Structure 1
Amino acid sequence: MLLWPTLRRGKGGPVSVSDAVQTVNRNQGVFVDVRPPDQFKTGTIAQARNVPVADLGAKAGSLPKNKPLIVFCEQGRESIKAAALLRKQGLDAVSLEGGLKAWTQAGMPLSKKA
C-alpha cells in the first residue's frame, strides 16, 4: 500500500496535491500550468510556468529536462493528456490530480500573474 503513490508516479499517473508539493520541495519540481493565458493570469500556483496546451508541442523544449514537472489545468483532465505528451518527449511529467480545483480545495495558495 505504501508503494502505491510511487508506482502510480512511475507510470505517469496523477499525483495528489501533497505529493506534488513534496516533489517540488524535495526534487526541485516545476509546476506547469497548461491553461490559456487569460485563465493563468486570474490565479495560479506560485512559481508555475504557463505553457498552454495549444503551445505544448512547440514549447516543450523550453521546459527543464532535469527536473520533475507537475502539469495542471483547471480540473485535471487536460493535464493528463499534456503530461503524457511531455513524457513522450522524454520529460519527467505527471498530472496534478484534480487540477487547480483540487489545489484550492486543499487550502493551498494562489498567485495572481500580472
Structure 2
Amino acid sequence: MEIPTAAVDGVPDPLPAQLVVLDVREDDEWEAGHVEGSLHIPLMHLAGRFAEVPTTGQTLVVCRVGSRSAQAAAYLLQQGVDAVNLAGGLAAWANAGRPLVTDDDRPPRVL
C-alpha cells in the first residue's frame, strides 16, 4: 500500500481548522513537545482507541521521524480514514521552525 506523505513545507501554516493532527508517539515524547491542538494516541493504543479518531476530513499523522506514523497512517487508510504521514516527523517539523507546545511551562523539544 502506498502511504500518502507530506513534507513539512507542504503542510499549510497555519494549519487548517478541519485538519486533524494525530501524534502517535509515547507519553514522554508527547509531554516534551507536540503540535498545538493535536490528538495524542500512542501507536500501540491506536486500534483500541480508533473511535477517538475523527473519520471526516484529513488526518496528518506524526511521530518523531516518520516511521511509527507511517504504520499508523497505513492502519488508518485501511479503516477508510484520509490519512497522510508527515515525512521526517516532528524532528523535521521543529527543524523547519514550526511551533511545538507543552502542557506545562517547560520549553518544547522533540524526544
Same topology, TM > 0.5: yes
Question: What TM-score do you get using the length of structure 2 for normalisation?
Answer: 0.85
Aligned to 2:35, the other structure's residue is in SS state coil
Of 9, 12, 28, 1:38 maps to 28
If each structure's helix is expressed as a fraction of its own residues, which one has the higher value? Answer: 1
If each structure's strand is expressed as a fraction of its own residues, which one has the higher value? Answer: 2
Contact 1:75 1:102 in 2 (8 A): yes
User: What is the Cα-based RMSD across aligned positions, in Å?
Assistant: 1.7
Amino acid at match of 2:35: I
In structure 2, how many angstroms separate the alpha carbons of the residues matched to 1:107 and 1:33?
Answer: 18
| Number of residue pairs matched by the alignment | 103
In structure 2, how many angstroms separate the alpha carbons of the residues matched to 1:81 and 1:21?
Answer: 23
Question: What TM-score do you get using the length of structure 1 for normalisation?
Answer: 0.82
Unaligned residue ranges in structure 1 (runs of 5+): 1-10
In structure 2, how many angstroms separate the alpha carbons of the residues matched to 1:28 and 1:81?
Answer: 23
Corresponding residue number in structure 1 for 2:55: 65
Corresponding residue number in structure 2 for 1:7: none
In structure 1, how many angstroms separate the alpha carbons of the residues matched to 2:85 and 2:62?
Answer: 6
Task: For residue 23 of structure 1, report the CA deviation from its aligned partner.
Answer: 9.3
Unaligned residue ranges in structure 2 (runs of 5+): 105-111
| Identical amino acids, percent of aligned pairs | 33
Task: For residue 24 of structure 1, report the CA deviation from its aligned partner.
Answer: 3.7
Contact 2:24 2:69 in 1 (8 A): yes
In structure 2, how many angstroms separate the alpha carbons of the residues matched to 1:23 and 1:92?
Answer: 20
Task: For residue 54 of structure 1, report the CA deviation from its aligned partner.
Answer: 0.5
What are the within-5 Å matches in structure 2 for residues 68-83 of structure 1? 68-83=58-73
